[in-house]
Structures are given as C-alpha cells and as structure tokens.
A and B are shown apart, each in its own frame.
Chain A
Amino acid sequence: MGTFHHGKGDLHGITIVVDTTGSQVAIGRCDTVTPEGVILLDADVHDADESDVTKEAWIQKAAMMGHWARHPRIVVPTDQVASITKLGDV
C-alpha cells in the first residue's frame, strides 16, 4: 500500500532521463508529460558543452547510484525533447 496519483500518465512518479536535441540532458521524477513539455520534479540537468563529461557518461553514473535533486521542478519543452527513457532501464 502507499500513495498513488491517478490521471498523471504512465510515467508519473518514475525517474526518467530526458535527452534533448541540444547539449543538455535532464534526469528527474516525472510529474506529467504535457503537450508543452515534460515536467520533472527533483531534477538534475547536465550540459555536455559546459563539462568534460559526456551525456552518456553522466547518465551512466546516475544509473548506478541515482541523481542529485538540484532543481525542485523543471520543464523540458516538447520541441527540445529527443528521447525519454526510464533511468531504471539504462
């Protein structure tokens, strides 16, 4: 038993990786996927252009132990979303 939130979509509550068409990738707990964008809670964002760490390496590290919740809520605009993957599937 526990708390559930119906009507928010299949990914609600799931930790997902949202890769973008640009240099950024985000990981967070999915709130909802709306026509405007993907809403992530307790999220972290990595910009490969501002780091020596590639997107892939950053994702792999998160897949091992988890990600840091550096942002309470972010929205990744739909037109910037390249892919959505469950972190548990990485």
Chain B
Amino acid sequence: MPYDPVLVQPMREEVTRLGIEELVDEAGVDQFMSRSGTKLVFINSVCGCAAGQARPALTIALQNEAKPDHVGTVFAGQDLEATAKARSYFADVPPSSPSAALIKDGEIVWFLPRHKIESRDAQTIAFDMVGAFDQHCA
C-alpha cells in the first residue's frame, strides 16, 4: 500500500530538484525510454537506510562531467504502474528499490541494486555511479 503522499513528497523533491524527470505513468516511461542516447532510471524508495543515501549519491554523481543524456525517476511503492513499466525494460534483473539502471542503445549496461546501496555512504555509492557514467556515457 502506498505511503501518504505528503510523507513521500520531500523524497520526490530531493530527486526532482536536480532536474530529473519524474515518470508517474506508463506513457511517461515509454516516452522516456524511446529517446536516443544514454538513460538513467533511478528507482526511488521510502526506505530510510538505503534511499536516504542513494538520493544524495545521485546528487553527487550527476555533478560528474560524463553523465547520462537523460535521467528519469520512478517511485517504487508509490507510482506502481510507472515502476512496473520501467522494470519491464530490464526484466531480467531482479526488482529492488532503491536502485538505478543505466540504459544504452536499448540495453541495460549497468545496474545498481539495493544491496549495493545499503550500509554504504552517499560518497561511496556515488563513486560507483560515476564509474558507470565514465564507462558508458563519456
């Protein structure tokens, strides 16, 4: 059952204030995925112990010179249809949240699952993201 939208709104804004596109329905996800270039899908979550570090990590990582052409976000547990649709583009990957998927030429080239976010600080998580951006988006 989704959380109270009022509770979740600051977690949404922590991401959208970066200029990241919020994808709230299936059509939005399809439109986002149809774009050319590299795409990062950040799967947001209310989880304090993981998402509480993942969102600041994303902020840090997007300051890197090499970064995806497009960055979008869905909110797991909140925007259910959009999240399911986004995950359908990388259906071979076990779903987890928070997580992040980097798509290039229609293929997932890098995935950051929840367990690689848990127990790590934002800087360390960002280091992983930047490594992927440098490898696939430069």
- Which A residues have a C-beta under 8 Å from some C-beta of B? 1-4, 13-15, 62-63, 65-69, 86-88
Enumerate chain A residues within 8 angstroms of B46, measured Cβ to Cβ.
Answer: 2-3
CA distance A30 to B113 in the complex (A): 16
By a CB distance below 8 angstroms, the chain B residues around A4 are 48-49
A interface footprint on B116-138 (CB within 8 Å = 1, 0 otherwise)? 11111000000000000000000
A74 to B31, CA, bound (A): 39
Which B84-125 residues have C-beta < 8 A from chain A? Answer: 93-96, 99, 111, 113-120
Whether A86 contacts B119 by the Cβ 8 Å rule is yes
Contacts A66-B113, A88-B120 given: A2-B49 contact, CB under 8 Å? yes
How many residue pairs at the A-B interface have CB separations less than 8 Å?
60
B47 at interface by CB-CB < 8 Å = yes
Known: A86-B119, A88-B119. A66 touches B114 (CB 8 A): yes
**Interface size of B by Cβ–Cβ distance < 8 Å?**
26
CB distance from A45 to the nearest CB of B (A): 14
- Which residues of B come within 8 Å of A, CB atoms? 3, 10-11, 14, 45-52, 93-96, 99, 111, 113-120
Contact of A65 with B113 in the complex, beta carbons under 8 Å: yes
Q: Is the CB of B111 within 8 A of A65?
A: yes
The residues of B that contact A1 with a CB separation of less than 8 Å are 10-11, 14, 48, 52
A14 touches B118 (CB 8 A): yes
Given A1-B11, A13-B47, A67–B94 Cβ distance below 8 Å? yes
Contacts of B50 on A, CB cut-off 8 Å? 13
Which residues of the partner chain A approach B47 to less than 8 Å between Cβ atoms?
A: 2-3, 13
5 interchain residue pairs of minimum CB distance: A2-B48, A66-B113, A15-B115, A66-B94, A87-B115
In angstroms, Cα B111 to Cα A69, docked, is: 17
Is A65 within 8 A of B10, CB to CB? no
Task: State how many angstroms separate the Cβ of B27 from the closest Cβ of chain A.
Answer: 27
Q: List 5 A-B contacts (CB under 8 A).
A: A1-B11, A2-B46, A4-B48, A13-B49, A13-B50
